[in-house]
Amino acid sequence: MATTKISKHISYKEGVRSDTATRNRIRNEPDEKQLAAMKELAKKVFEPLRTHFNEPIRINSFFRSVALNKRIGGSGTSQHCKGEAVDIDATNGITNKQLFDYIKDNLEFDQLIWEFGTTKNPDWVHVSYKTSKPNRNMVLKAVKGGNPVYQVITPGKVIEEEEETPREKKKSRKGVVAVKTKLNVRKKPSKEAKVVGQLKNSKKIKIISENNGWYQIKTSKYSGWVSNKYVKVK
């Protein structure tokens, strides 16, 4: 089973990856039914989204076994435990809001969650898809300190609490922009790549990954790549 791909752009490894599981030696392998649910979600939601934007979309968390979900403070009934939910993050100049809006307006889903963040952009997007029951096309927003935290924003629906768990902490670093003029944020790690934004000197940024002299970064406004020559890492 370990060699099965979830879909064209999702490897099995990406589908089950979890730092918490690795660290705590928690088994995180879907059974056949859960794997089938993951494949269906990938086919109906992830791949159409991937095709539309034609850019990589990061899988933050897909399948989580009950033991793993409990370990990160969630319940055993989360749709992640059934292989029916995935947490995704945009890359290469696409924003999470764009992912969220495209799913909301074009695709069938069970629950779509704007996960925290600001009014302009969520920290990440949670989306679920059910194969067994009708999909509810329910849109929710996670509000820090909200009561309940998950609030239904589909018009005409009452507010109710939903099962979700905090995202696992990723190892990102903090940096500060150090330039005389402005620092270009590019779509890809190359001087020839399209500029998607500019950052001022001393702007604080989050460094997600590194590639050949470039940092993949994130600010409240942009995600993309900057030359590492102009960033001081804290």
Which residues of this protein are in contact with Zn ion, per CB under 5 A? 87, 126
Residue 88 or 208 having the CB closest to Zn ion: 88
Residue 124 or 215 having the CB closest to Zn ion: 124
Residue 116 or 198 having the CB closest to Zn ion: 116
Q: From 21, 112, 96, 32, select the one nearest 58 (Cα to Cα).
A: 96
Shortest Cβ contact with Zn ion: which residue? 126
Query: CB neighbours (10 Å) of residue 149?
Result: 16
| Matching residue, tokens 């096309």 | 137
Residue 126 or 188 having the CB closest to Zn ion: 126
Residue 44 or 126 having the CB closest to Zn ion: 126
Q: How far is the CB of 121 from Zn ion (least distance, A)?
A: 17
**DSSP labels for the chain?**
-TT--SBTTB-HHHHH--HHHHHHT------HHHHHHHHHHIIIIIHHHHHHHTS-EEEEE----HHHHHHTT--TT-GGGGT-EEEEEE-TT--HHHHHHHHHHH---SEEEEESS-SS--SEEEEE--SSS----EEEEE-TT-SSSEEE-STTPPP------PPPPP--EEEEE--SSEEEEESSSSTTSPEEEEEETT-EEEEEEEETTEEEEE-SS-EEEEEGGGEEE-
Q: How far is the CB of 165 from Zn ion (least distance, A)?
A: 7
Q: How far is the CB of 128 from Zn ion (least distance, A)?
A: 8
Q: How far is the CB of 80 from Zn ion (least distance, A)?
A: 6
Q: How far is the CB of 61 from Zn ion (least distance, A)?
A: 6
Q: How far is the CB of 79 from Zn ion (least distance, A)?
A: 8
Q: How far is the CB of 105 from Zn ion (least distance, A)?
A: 20
Query: CB neighbours (10 Å) of residue 163?
Result: 16
Residue 6 or 226 having the CB closest to Zn ion: 6
Residue 126 or 130 having the CB closest to Zn ion: 126
